[in-house]
Amino acid sequence: MTYPETPLSADELLNRIFVEGRSFSAWQKRPVDKDVLDRAYRLAALGPTSMNCQPARFLWLTSEEARARLLAWLAPPNVEKTRTAPVTIVVAADLAFYDELPRLFPHRPGVRELYASKPELARETARRNCALTAGYFICALRALGLDCGPMSGFDAAAVDVGFFPDGRWKSEMVLNVGYGERESLFPRLPRLGWEEAWRLV
């Protein structure tokens, strides 16, 4: 396995996820074990979503044909980093996630109809909670020793027509995964401080 064989301390794990974790554009020529992706997904799926709705869906582009199609729909700065990434995933929101709610949230009868009867509420819920799960997934991948390069620079309408023609899934993010080339990183950009990002009322 490529994830850590020995336990990390809490500080080491936080350092790996947040301090050392960066958005990568260049990749080592190392394959990614499917079992690590599976483990990361299973961890991410444990994160909270509204009424346990779990709307995030993942399309792993494993063929050269599929990746070539995606490359045509990316913003130019995102093409090479995606072409060379060991794994590329389209993270999408299932707009009809509510079909699974009788199983995922069984203690509230009728919860499916709450969303099925309100398309805008369903879309908003799907997108917000898909983004949450994507964040959990990135943290899980980093914790397991992988690096990520999430991107929003792509033609979502084209991706949806090309990969999700029934209209049920809507693309939210393209996520490259692998083992990043740390030498390619530029210094970390500034972050807002507490006094800039917080208000107390």
- The phi and psi torsions of 103 (rounded to 5 degrees) equal -90, -40
**Residue 14 placed within a domain:** no
Q: How far apart are the first and last CA of the chain?
A: 48
Q: What is the pLDDT of residue 190?
A: 97
**Residue 3 placed within a domain:** no
**Residue 79 placed within a domain:** yes
**Residue 176 placed within a domain:** yes
Distance CA 20, CA 2 (A): 17
**Residue 20 placed within a domain:** no
Instruction: Output the pTM of the full model.
Output: 0.94
CB neighbours of residue 189 within 10 Å: 5
Q: What is the pLDDT of residue 7?
A: 87
- Domain of residue 37, CATH code: 3.40.109.10
Residue 1 has pLDDT above 50, yes or no: no
pLDDT band at 5 (very low <50, low <70, confident <90, very high): low
**Residue 187 placed within a domain:** no
In the structure encoding, which two tokens stand for residue 147, read together?
Answer: 């690096």
Domain span including residue 161: 25-180
**Residue 5 placed within a domain:** no
Tally of structural domains, the chain: 1
Residue 35 has pLDDT above 50, yes or no: yes
User: What 3-state class would DSSP assign to 22?
Assistant: coil
Q: How many CA atoms lie within 13 A of 8 on its CB side?
A: 14
**Residue 10 placed within a domain:** no
- Specify the residue for token string 């991410």: 44
Q: What is the pLDDT of residue 114?
A: 95
Sequence-separated (6 or more) residues with CB below 8 Å from residue 42: none
